[in-house]
């Protein structure tokens, strides 16, 4: 039940996982534009996904200003697959 509360509170989390699954590693601005999530909600969703081990965040130092790149972990890919299967079964 606790996990369900996380999903309810961070409902942008599911959209984030779906977007990263379809697009691969992306920067914040690309995710922001691609998901349509409000900036604050997106930040919270990324932070929670990182805390849950669903995404990796790496800093791209090859560009200035530096940018954070977000990608799914193996666990994140598995969770996204299960959510997708659940949605398709409805």
34: how many CB neighbours lie within 10 A of its CB?
15
CATH tag, 2-89:
1.10.10.10
Q: Cis bond leading into 45, ω under 30°?
A: no
Per-residue confidence (pLDDT) for residue 46, from 0 to 100 = 95
Q: What is the pTM of this model?
A: 0.85
The domain limits of the chain are 2-89
- Could you list the mean pLDDT of each consecutive 10-residue stretch along the chain, which spans 90 residues? 66 91 95 94 93 94 87 96 85
């Amino acid at each position: 039940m606790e996990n369900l509360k996380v999903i309810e509170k961070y409902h942008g989390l599911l959209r984030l996982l779906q977007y990263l699954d379809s697009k691969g590693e992306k920067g914040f601005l690309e995710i922001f534009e691609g998901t349509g999530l409000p900036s604050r909600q997106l930040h919270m969703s990324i932070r929670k996904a990182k805390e849950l081990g669903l995404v990796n965040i790496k800093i791209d130092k090859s560009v200035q200003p530096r940018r954070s790149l977000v990608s799914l972990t193996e666990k994140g890919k598995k969770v996204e697959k299960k959510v997708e299967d659940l949605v398709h079964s409805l």
